[in-house]
Amino acid sequence: MREPTADEMMQWDSLSGTAADRKAIAIVAGVPEQVVGKMTARDFNRAARFIGSFLA
């Protein structure tokens, strides 16, 4: 995981909630969305908060 770029942020800008988090994690981590969908809730939320920390 790393800080997202502006171009990457545009890819999930029109989404909201869990759909936006799922897309953002997949893009930043470089894995398919299906892989993100198999993450545990704890890991998913941790990754979403990590990315969110750059967006505030």
Res 3: pLDDT: 96
Asked if residue 15 is part of any domain, the answer here is yes
For residue 25, is it within any domain?
Answer: yes
Q: Give the per-residue pLDDT at 20.
A: 97
pLDDT in tens, 1-56: 999 999 999 999 999 999 999 999 999 999 999 999 999 999 999 999 999 999 97
Q: Please report the pLDDT score of residue 56 as a whole number.
A: 78
CB neighbour class for 47 (10 Å; exposed up to 12, middle 13-18, buried from 19) = buried
Element (DSSP H or E) covering residue 7: helix 6-12
pTM of the full structure: 0.93
- What pLDDT is attached to residue 14? 96
pLDDT at position 36: 98
CA dihedral 43, 44, 45, 46 (to 10 degrees): 50
Whether 37 is in a domain gets the answer yes
Give residue 15's domain range: 6-52
Q: DSSP per residue over 1-56, as a string? A: --PPPHHHHHHHTT--HHHHHHHHHHHHHT--HHHHHTS-HHHHHHHHHHHHTTT-
Q: How many domains does the chain have?
A: 1
